[in-house]
Amino acid sequence: MFQKFCIKQGDLWPPLEAYLLQADNAAIPLEEDDIVKFIMTPKNDRRNVIIDEEAEIVDLDTGYVRYTWQPGDTDVADTYQAEFLVMLHGDTPIRVPNNGYFIITIDHKLGYEEGQGS
């Protein structure tokens, strides 16, 4: 599983992909009715949620998931922290990773000047 992910400002590719693992590195067993959300906040502001969207479950057995970036998700260059919230059958929440966060870096695109926006 990735711990750091980098993408350029305004880009929507590549999607963010991960295997959802338990603390012992075993795959979290997913079922078709489970919900996985991708949550991202600025690194030093956990209360300011930038993204809170459903991720695609690609493989139930391995816990492989994908979040496809949406327009606006990568507009602001900065460092972010992220996690997946898994709602298992019966409303049992599991946050991945269970220790710390993923670090997402959105780098400035070339030609960017402060105050210019995206």
Task: Report if residue 117 sits inside a domain.
Answer: no
Indicate if the pLDDT at residue 98 is higher than 60. Answer: yes
Task: Determine the Cα–Cα distance for residues 1 and 110; give it in Å rounded to an integer.
Answer: 29
Domain coverage including residue 93: 4-107
Q: Which residue, 15, 20, 102, is CA-closest to 61?
A: 20
Map tokens 């600025």 to a residue.
Answer: 42
Task: Report if residue 98 sits inside a domain.
Answer: yes
Q: What is the pLDDT, as a whole number, of residue 80?
A: 97
Task: Report if residue 114 sits inside a domain.
Answer: no
- pLDDT tens column, 18-51: 999 988 889 998 988 899 999 999 998 888 999 9
Q: Model's pTM, two decimal places?
A: 0.86
Task: Determine the Cα–Cα distance for residues 82 and 72; give it in Å rounded to an integer.
Answer: 16
Q: What is the pLDDT, as a whole number, of residue 44?
A: 86
Q: What is the CATH number of the domain that holds 95?
A: 2.60.40.1220
Task: Report if residue 97 sits inside a domain.
Answer: yes
Tokens of 20: 């959802």
Contact between 76 and 69 (Cβ < 8 Å): no
Which pLDDT band holds residue 2 (cuts at 50, 70, 90)? low
Task: Find how far residue 48's CA is from the centre of its chain.
Answer: 15
Mean pLDDT of the chain: 89
Q: What is the pLDDT, as a whole number, of residue 89?
A: 75
Tell me what the mean pLDDT of segment 65-88 comes to.
95
Within 13 A of 7's CA, how many CA atoms are on the CB side?
19
Q: What is the pLDDT, as a whole number, of residue 117?
A: 55
94 forms beta bridges with 86
